[in-house]
Amino acid sequence: MRLRVPHAALAAPAVLAASTLLAGCAGSTAGPDTSANRPTVVAAFYPLAYAAEQVAGDSVDVIDLTPPGAEPHDLELTAQQVAQIAEADLVLYVPGFQPAVDEAVAQQAGDRALDVTQGIDMIPGDPHVWLDPLNMATIGNSIADRLGASLPDLADTVDVGARKLSADMSGLSNEWKTGTQSCTIRDLVVSHEAFGYLARAYGFTQVGIAGLSPDSEPSPARLAEVTALVKDRGVTTIYYETLVDPKIAQTVAAETGATTAVLDPLEGLPEGSDGNYVSVMQDNLAQVRTGQACP
């Protein structure tokens, strides 16, 4: 086990920040990590970028393909982003989540692609693995294994980073466990079915009004079904999310007398947000504790 934090990789002199602008052109140079040719990790969307940053710190440049405020399911890639995928040392993605990324990865990334769902107990058809913090720890370990193998200079750094991320995610998961143990309402009614992994981890049943994709429209029959369930089960809060229109949640709330609240699926950070994966998950926990009646 390597626990030593090595050399200059973590020092990251600020004067070198300008070189990040050139990162897309740096190619897959695996030489000594002078920051002029720092390795590049391309992440398909925010939680994967967060995991990569936690694992590798300043020893790599992390590029997030999904801009802040954008909804990642239907992301379209620019030619420059496709080139970034072609040149990256490592490309992180969730198969089946973003068709444009799947296609570019298949064509451009070759064996530098990492399907971050490997080692995760998948819910069939549901790509939203990152909403269980323990899955984020698994993702961090996969990133560290791959970076350590392909860039041996970074092996010590990413080993330390993955352990730290794993500890942080265990802590966050324990906050959620403790915070949701006593919730009296166990049906989690959400506009977009992004919370299957979170529901599974903390003993809720997810009830999605729309489907797995946030821009799908529920049928009148589905709306009636969810409305009936909300009344029957005494659900008091319908959750919607930051990056998409709240009208579906508002419709069900208006018909049942429930209120609405924000639950963030962390598919991206809102523009200008100073939050991160942990702070948003803590905000989500606070919303759930109120909305699900957790004394």
Cβ closer to Zn ion: 60 or 194? 194
Report which of 18, 58, 52 is spatially closest to residue 38, judged by C-alpha positions.
Answer: 58
| Residue 161 and residue 276 in contact, taking contact as beta carbons nearer than 8 Å | no
Question: What is the size of the binding site for Zn ion (CB under 5 A)?
Answer: 1
Shortest separation between residue 194's beta carbon and Zn ion, angstroms: 4
| Residue 43 and residue 63 in contact, taking contact as beta carbons nearer than 8 Å | yes
Cβ closer to Zn ion: 159 or 267? 267
Shortest separation between residue 197's beta carbon and Zn ion, angstroms: 11
Under the binding rule (CB under 5 A), the answer on residue 101 touching Zn ion is no
Point out which span in 179-187, 194-202, 220-228, 282-290 binds Zn ion (CB under 5 A).
194-202
Cβ closer to Zn ion: 194 or 210? 194
Q: What is d(CA 240, CA 139) in angstroms, rounded to the nearest whole number?
A: 26
Point out which span in 4-12, 107-115, 191-199, 255-263 binds Zn ion (CB under 5 A).
191-199
Alpha helices in the chain (DSSP H): 46-56, 79-87, 99-104, 133-150, 155-180, 196-202, 220-233, 247-256, 277-291
Residues 16-75 that bind Zn ion (CB under 5 A): none
Point out which span in 2-10, 34-42, 193-201, 233-241 binds Zn ion (CB under 5 A).
193-201
Under the binding rule (CB under 5 A), the answer on residue 194 touching Zn ion is yes
Q: Which residue is nearest to Zn ion (CB)?
A: 194
| Residue 84 and residue 40 in contact, taking contact as beta carbons nearer than 8 Å | yes
Cβ closer to Zn ion: 56 or 194? 194
**DSSP-assigned letter for residue 210:** S
Q: What is d(CA 96, CA 99) in angstroms, rounded to the nearest whole number?
A: 6
Summarize as ranges the residues that interact with Zn ion (CB under 5 A): 194
